[in-house]
Chains A and B, each alone.
Chain A
Amino acid sequence: MDEDRPLFAQIAEQIENDIIDGTLAEDSQVPSTNEFAAFHRINPATAAKGVNVLVDDGVLYKRRGIGMFVSPGARATLVARRRERFENEYLKPIIAEAAKLGISRSELSTMIETETAQ
């Protein structure tokens, strides 16, 4: 867990990651708040807050007395949202760093091509 961000936000993000990479399939059950709390050694109320963020967001849904499940269509929504953030969070820093080091545009695109080809 990082020090600089609220834990509940990190819990929510981890669940999102698991949904995006398919570890948590749609309509499958998400671990309980207490399981998250025990695994990450965090306060159960904090873990619950992270899960509830995703419930409010429609990514998870509640089945009374059973637990939390991944909503149908959650993966597509999350992927679309992450794609919107991709440019700002990943692309722009790379371009800025490349400019700082004097890496030209064509050098940069060659690098990306070589890396992705592997």
Chain B
Amino acid sequence: MTAVIEVEHLTKRFGRFTAIDDLSFSVQEHGIYGLLGRNGAGKTTLMQLLTGQQFATSGDIRLFGERPVENSSVLDRVCSIKESQRYPDEYQAHHVLTSAPWFFPRWDAALAGQLVADFRLPVKRRIKKLSRGQVSALGVIVGLASRAPLTFFDEPYLGLDAVARQIFYDRLLADYAEHPRTVLLSTHLIDEVSNLLEHVIVIDDGKIVIDAEADALRGSATTVSGRTAAVESFSAGRNVLHSENVGGLSSAVISGLGPDDRATAIGEGLDLSPVSLQQLVVATTTSRATEWKESA
């Protein structure tokens, strides 16, 4: 396997604020990666650094083995779609679609045309007059039809309705199957995309908190609930990600439970339920909310 993205000890500070804090990770060729995290966790800053739109304070970034900043041999192979993409004022969607091949050597005009029909995008209307969702659809079309070996989608679907999002997922999977490439998708709609992802990177406070195969995370954590005393005695010494209590009842999200642990929990009258990827991400990134709850 070849690494398409290699990041070592990457740090980005804005004044005294540290947005990205000593990150190291790599992304392998041909995979759909999810970049997840809360608002302000550093997802967009990280994507900007990776695509050469921001300068790192320290650390090293390599895309296809080279530094991305001002490097056209790298940037020709990269497509970056962000939530609030701006276009020239007088532009209509078809201007964007006509000029896209200048920047993306692998552009597929037939695919773009098909996506325009799927999303029902009015191509001869000024982009300023399009709805929020239609502007997002235009970004998604560019991202898919560019067929860039490395494609970034940063919250690509603000305002896209459920039907359009499903079209995006289906087209992404279908085109990815025929033209394998590396996709890094950042989103808050984790439940919707969890099955599409091969690998998940979760960042919180500028640091990586999860970097794992999506299928390995599935079932890796369990919610254990029951009477507080029983939950607490079972949790002791185990890897508790998150816990809550109401009255005499408690629930704890615990990772790494084996079949024996499960049998023990059931024997002690506790209820076990699976934790979805979204719940797992929430549990690993809400420490502050818990503290607040405890002090309330």
Contact = CB atoms under 8 A, between A and B. Distances in A.
A38 B215 contact: no
Interface stretch (B7-15, B69-77, B195-203): B195-203
Size class of the contact patch on chain A = 20 to 34
Nearest to B32: A43
A55 interface: no
A43 B218 contact: no
A37 B195 CA distance: 10
Interface string A1-35: 11111111000000000000000000000000110
Contact of A4 (B178, B196, B219): B219
Contacts of A4: 218-219, 222, 273-275
Nearest to A9: B215
B218 A37 contact: no
B169 interface: yes
Contacts of A38: 170, 173-174, 177
B234 to A, nearest CB: 18
A7 B195 contact: yes
Interface string B222-242: 100000000000000000000
A81 interface: no
B214 interface: yes
Main secondary structure of the interface of A (DSSP, over half): helix
B216 A6 contact: yes
Contacts of A1: 195
Contacts of A5: 218-219
Interface in A46-71: 46, 49
Interface residues of B, number: 23
Contacts of A85: none
Contact of A2 (B169, B174, B214, B274): B274
* Chain B binding surface, main DSSP class: mixed
B214 A43 contact: yes
Contacts of B198: 43, 45-46
Interface in B189-221: 195-198, 214-216, 218-219
Interface in B97-128: none
Contacts of B245: none
Contact of B215 (A2, A8, A34, A41): A8
A12 B194 CA distance: 19
B215 A44 contact: no
Nearest to B221: A4
Interface in B253-288: 273-276
Contacts of A40: 195
17 contacts: A1-B195, A2-B274, A4-B275, A5-B218, A6-B215, A6-B216, A6-B218, A7-B215, A33-B177, A38-B170, A38-B173, A38-B174, A40-B195, A41-B169, A43-B32, A45-B31, A46-B195
Given A3-B274, A43-B197, 11 more contacts: A3-B218, A3-B276, A4-B274, A4-B275, A33-B177, A34-B174, A37-B177, A38-B174, A41-B196, A43-B32, A44-B177
